[in-house]
Amino acid sequence: EAGVTQFPSHSVIEKGQTVTLRCDPISGHDNLYWYRRVMGKEIKFLLHFVKESKQDESGMPNNRFLAERTGGTYSTLKVQPAELEDSGVYFCASSQDRQGEAKNIQYFGAGTRLSVL
C-alpha cells in the first residue's frame, strides 16, 4: 500500500509568485493534516481535514494560504503570493480513526521543500 505522497519534492519560486503543493494521503484515511517547519523552528501544525471538511485551521498563518480537499481525497495547499518567510518544508500527514481509540497514528509524507527567493 502506498504511503502519503507529496508533490513536488522541492519548489523554488520568486517572492510574489504562487505555488501549489499537493498531498495524496493513504487510501481510506479520513484525516489529513498539513504541517510545516520554517527556518530555525520546530514542526508546526497548519490545518486538519476530516474528509473534505476543515476541522481545524487554527495554524494557518494568514490568508495567503489556502488549503482544499475537494472530494475528500487528495489535498492542495496554495500559497499566493509567496513571501520569503514562507520558505521551509511542508509536511502532509494522514490517519484513520481506530474504533475505540482516542488517538490515531499520523503517517507523514516526505515533505515539500519550498524556497522563496
Partner 1 sequence: GESVGLHLPTLSVQEGDNSIINCAYSNSASDYFIWYKQESGKGPQFIIDIRSNMDKRQGQRVTVLLNKTVKHLSLQIAATQPGDSAVYFCAEPSTIKAAGNKLTFGGGTRVLVKP
d(CA 49, CA 4): 15
Residues 6+ apart with CB under 8 A from 101: none
In the chain, the amino acid numbered 60 is M
Which positions from 56 to 95 touch partner 1 by CB under 8 A, shown as an x/- string? x-xx---------------------------xxx-x-x-x
Q: Is 25 in the site for partner 1 (CB under 8 A)?
A: no
**Only segment of 12-20, 60-68, 69-77, 102-110 that touches partner 1 (CB under 8 A):** 102-110
Residue number with CB closer to partner 1 (46 or 71): 46
| Bridging pattern class, strands 112-116 and 10-13 | parallel
The C-alpha atoms of residue 35 and residue 55 are separated, in whole angstroms, by 14
* Shortest distance, position 112 Cβ to partner 1, whole Å: 10
Minimum distance from residue 70 beta carbon to partner 1 (Å): 19
CA angle 23, 27, 42 (to 5 degrees): 40
44 binds partner 1 (CB under 8 A): yes
CB of 77 vs partner 1, minimal distance in Å: 15
96 binds partner 1 (CB under 8 A): no
Which DSSP letter does residue 86 get?
A: G
Interface with partner 1 (CB under 8 A), residue total 37
